[in-house]
Structure 1
Amino acid sequence: MNPSKTEQNGRLRIRGRVEPGFESVRQLFENQMRTMAERNVQLCAFYRGKKVVDLWASAIGDDTFTADSLVNVFSSGKSLEAIAIASLVSRGLVRYDAKITQYWPEFGANGKDGLTIADLMRHEAGLANFDTSIDMEDLFTENIKQNAVGRIIEEHAPAYREGDGGKREYHALTRGWIVNEVFRRVDPAGRTIGEFLREEVSGPLDADVVVGVKETEMPRVSKVHALGFGYVLLQSLIPRFLGRRIVHNIFQILGRLIRIVPSMIKSRRAGTPPPLTGMTGMGFFNEPGFARGETPSANATCSAGGLAKIAAMMSAGGKWEGREFISDEAWQAMHEHPVKADMGAMLVTRFTQGGVDCFTPCTAQSTRIERDFNEGREGFYGWMGLGGSIFQWHPKRDIGFAFVPTSLHVLDFLNERGKRYQAEILKCVETIER
């Protein structure tokens, strides 16, 4: 890699290295750190098993923020739970087309008996919202094993989107809770996803990726901060050439809100309580108690370097340095049968039976929102997290990618500021491979 360089411009600190051929990624990183509303950021990418981008920065002069700092990546953790289920498939313990009741008989109560593992992984289980809030302590590993969450899920009935009859609805927090219950019942050691990841994935790979932060790890956690709605609206009025510090202008934001807000209101059915007891705002996600529990769909706490290494293992077919994490057959099954469906708000997704989205080239018939969602990340699999994080892999190009910010641009619904890095890395790789 190029020699490490530290830039100090006021409070801005930029550190890290890139391999020859990826210099433009560093240039983009430096530019975005100067011009976007960022606080602390990590960016890491592997290509053909080699780390080619390893950058981290603080725009607020935070010298405690390093490449090893841990950050909540929210829904990027959904791809970790998909990997956990794929590991069970790899050992012949689970089939994607099997009914969930085959592994968890009590789950079938109240009309859920026909749901399959694939239905759950594609966000088509009709369980996007629970009719009761989960207590934070019930998500501690020891309480999960006492079926504190499982009992709530067992008693719940499915409910689907009203109006259009579509089954796909974003299970923002609930998919991880349900998958964890399935996983611990099937895993021969009775482990939760958090325990499994430490022992079978992040531990062997030496990757800073955890679900359920331990007390000794808390000092390494960097808090997340959401941009204020008023700040975003004011910034959206500024033309890009005059220094707008967010991706979208006012017209783009309002256009997205017009599509997304009605869908969000519909999804929060009348009388539906918040997912977690005491959840009143974004500050809740910085609570140590929330970090300690296991909500795989919304509280994986990771470094970009750790996520990118796992993504590199996935891009290489589930293998890393001679060790098989997922068999060829299970890896293929995880990425098979992407089903195109509207997930609400006109957002068309292509979730595979293994629960990762497949990003594809657009056509002349593609909508603007489809283009914004897919263009620049064609060929990647995985997902992304609230406010910015991205954890994805590109099997054809053998790229593992992760972007982890602490500044949450919540109205950048499709994580397009991070997508800029994906697009630039793809350009670099295409140039190298010519």
Structure 2
Amino acid sequence: MSNDAYGQDSAALPAGVGGYAPAGFGPLVRAFATLVGHRRGAGGSLAIHRHGEPLAHLWAGSTGDRPWSAETGTIVFSATKGVTATVIHRLADRGLIDYRAPIAEYWPRFAANGKGAITVADVLTHRAGLSSLPAVADTAAESLDHELMEDRLALAAPDRLRGVPAYHALTYGWLLAGLARAVTGRGMGELIRTEVAEPLGIDGIHLGRPAAGSSTDYAPLAGAHLSAVGHPVAANVLGRVGRHVPGALGAAARCLFVPGLHGILDGEDPPILDTEMPAGNGVCTATGLARMYAALADGVTVDGRPYLSAHTHRAIRRVQTYRLDHALFYLPMMWHLGYHSFPLVGARHGFGHIGLGGSFGWVDPASGLSVAYVHNRLDQTTLAYDQPAMAWVLPLVLSGVRATRDRAAGIDRVAA
């Protein structure tokens, strides 16, 4: 797409970068071109909205056999959690769920093994004591049966981390899906469509494989994925760590690792696309994710109708716990109800969710800014480089907004 269509106030885009951005976003555009536009067989997209209106949209790279486009989406891993939480807030908004109520009040089977007092808020803030994946799945293949996972979690016993934040990397999604199914009789894939995508006019947020006829162009994962954990020695070590090592290392292994995990991500058409994993297999475009978070900034849909009530908005903006997360190596996640803040420049007063590999969606209600970044590279050799993408994206976004505002003020002064 030519940038000329956006007028003289648009930044000139480097070769290989599509989309548009205001002139003040030059540093962000150059960083995006450098860090995303030169990946072999991979690409990404960045979308920025302000008060619900598109401000910038950039894309670069490829999906392997074709260029990345405005409609390209890919698996965003744990950024899916923010979408799933939004479904729960829609149900709470209609009085179908109370955050303070025990989950067993809606899902009686969940009361098994001493879980009768665990609340909806406990799950949304990762304090349910049910973060262990091996506790409910013996293999990764079992984890692809989402209704089986919901049922096993209903019967599971909480662990000793009940009551403190301990990241529920995959179990989070099935817990909330089981709750939503008990309340509505519908699965999370359908609910994401009817409670998020359709009310907001989005064809860029899906749970698993985009439906036939969707405009979303799926980009397969590029890179070596998590092949290292598939080595028999590595798998044996991780299994032992999860079972026997106390503290954050053991908790991290338990919440993420089960034998065969790497295999569900492999191939052009990976098995993870054909299940409902509401904590990790959302397929999103950057625009779709940015539009959803824009609705969490101002609470309205594309046609001006309310999306969430003022009461629910106040609830989701509030940090629920400042305690360090015991499964994320004691990071200060500052959990909201299903989202997190982070002590980064520009992120402290907003909220959203980061996924494995660095894809994320984020909103700052005070400024009306919503930002989403998605990409398809997943490689253990570059994970330390890719994961903290939010740390360079958000500061450059905020600098671009300030530069654009200052430039507009200067033009107004000249005109006066």
Same fold (TM over 0.5): yes
Q: Which runs of 4+ in 1 moved over 6 A?
A: 35-38, 134-140, 228-231
Whole-angstrom CA distance in 1 between matches of 2:63 and 2:104: 50
For residues 75 and 220 of structure 1, do their structure 2 counterparts lie closer, same or farther at Cα, with a shift above 3 Å needed?
Answer: same
Instruction: State the match for 2:35 in structure 1.
Output: 32
Instruction: State the match for 2:401 in structure 1.
Output: 429
Instruction: State the match for 1:412 in structure 2.
Output: 384
Instruction: State the match for 1:207 in structure 2.
Output: 203
One-letter amino acid matched to 1:132: V
What is the TM-score normalised by the length of structure 1? Answer: 0.77
Instruction: State the match for 1:128 in structure 2.
Output: 131
Whole-angstrom CA distance in 1 between matches of 2:390 and 2:267: 21
For residues 31 and 196 of structure 1, do their structure 2 counterparts lie closer, same or farther at Cα, with a shift above 3 Å needed?
Answer: same
Query: Contact conserved, 2:297 with 2:364, CA < 8 A, in 1?
Result: yes
Whole-angstrom CA distance in 1 between matches of 2:91 and 2:376: 32
For residues 293 and 228 of structure 1, do their structure 2 counterparts lie closer, same or farther at Cα, with a shift above 3 Å needed?
Answer: closer
Instruction: State the match for 1:311 in structure 2.
Output: 293
Whole-angstrom CA distance in 1 between matches of 2:262 and 2:296: 36
User: Is the aligned partner of 1:66 residue 2:66?
Assistant: no
Q: Which secondary structure does the structure 1 equivalent of 2:276 belong to?
A: coil
User: Is the aligned partner of 1:347 residue 2:326?
Assistant: no
For residues 107 and 81 of structure 1, do their structure 2 counterparts lie closer, same or farther at Cα, with a shift above 3 Å needed?
Answer: same
One-letter amino acid matched to 1:208: G
User: Is the aligned partner of 1:389 residue 2:359?
Assistant: yes
Whole-angstrom CA distance in 2 between matches of 1:36 and 1:262: 36
Q: Which secondary structure does the structure 2 equivalent of 1:323 belong to?
A: coil
Query: Contact conserved, 2:25 with 2:403, CA < 8 A, in 1?
Result: no
Instruction: State the match for 2:276 in structure 1.
Output: 294
Whole-angstrom CA distance in 1 between matches of 2:268 and 2:362: 24
Query: Contact conserved, 1:81 with 1:179, CA < 8 A, in 2?
Result: yes
Q: Could you list the runs of 5+ residues in structure 1 that have no partner in the other structure?
A: 232-259, 361-373
Written as runs of structure 1 = structure 2, the 5 A alignment for 1:48-197 is 48-58=51-61, 62-130=65-133, 131-133=135-137, 147-161=147-161, 167-187=164-184, 190-197=185-192
Q: Percent identity?
A: 26
Across the two proteins, how many residue pairs are aligned to each other?
376
User: Is the aligned partner of 1:357 residue 2:357?
Assistant: no
Instruction: State the match for 1:251 in structure 2.
Output: none
| Cα deviation, residue 196, structure 1 | 1.6
Query: Contact conserved, 2:37 with 2:60, CA < 8 A, in 1?
Result: no
User: Is the aligned partner of 1:3 residue 2:7?
Assistant: no
Query: Contact conserved, 1:335 with 1:356, CA < 8 A, in 2?
Result: no
One-letter amino acid matched to 1:386: L
Query: Contact conserved, 2:225 with 2:262, CA < 8 A, in 1?
Result: no
Q: Which secondary structure does the structure 1 equivalent of 2:262 belong to?
A: coil
Decide which of 44, 49, 60 is 1:46's aligned counterpart: 49
For residues 329 and 318 of structure 1, do their structure 2 counterparts lie closer, same or farther at Cα, with a shift above 3 Å needed?
Answer: farther
Q: Which secondary structure does the structure 1 equivalent of 2:265 belong to?
A: helix
Whole-angstrom CA distance in 1 between matches of 2:24 and 2:41: 26
Query: Contact conserved, 1:214 with 1:292, CA < 8 A, in 2?
Result: no
Whole-angstrom CA distance in 2 between matches of 1:392 and 1:286: 29
For residues 286 and 389 of structure 1, do their structure 2 counterparts lie closer, same or farther at Cα, with a shift above 3 Å needed?
Answer: farther
| Cα deviation, residue 228, structure 1 | 7.5
| Cα deviation, residue 431, structure 1 | 4.0
| Cα deviation, residue 38, structure 1 | 8.1
Query: Contact conserved, 1:183 with 1:192, CA < 8 A, in 2?
Result: yes
Please, which moves more after superposition, 200-209 or 171-180? 200-209
What is the TM-score normalised by the length of structure 2? Answer: 0.80
Query: Contact conserved, 2:226 with 2:379, CA < 8 A, in 1?
Result: no
One-letter amino acid matched to 1:80: V
For residues 287 and 107 of structure 1, do their structure 2 counterparts lie closer, same or farther at Cα, with a shift above 3 Å needed?
Answer: farther
Q: Could you list the runs of 5+ residues in structure 2 that have no partner in the other structure?
A: 6-11, 229-244, 407-416
| Cα deviation, residue 81, structure 1 | 1.0
One-letter amino acid matched to 2:192: L
Whole-angstrom CA distance in 2 between matches of 1:108 and 1:72: 33
| Cα deviation, residue 202, structure 1 | 1.2
Q: Which secondary structure does the structure 2 equivalent of 1:3 belong to?
A: helix
Whole-angstrom CA distance in 2 between matches of 1:273 and 1:408: 16
| Cα deviation, residue 193, structure 1 | 2.0
Query: Contact conserved, 2:128 with 2:163, CA < 8 A, in 1?
Result: no
Query: Contact conserved, 2:206 with 2:282, CA < 8 A, in 1?
Result: yes
Q: Which secondary structure does the structure 1 equivalent of 2:250 belong to?
A: helix
For residues 117 and 262 of structure 1, do their structure 2 counterparts lie closer, same or farther at Cα, with a shift above 3 Å needed?
Answer: closer
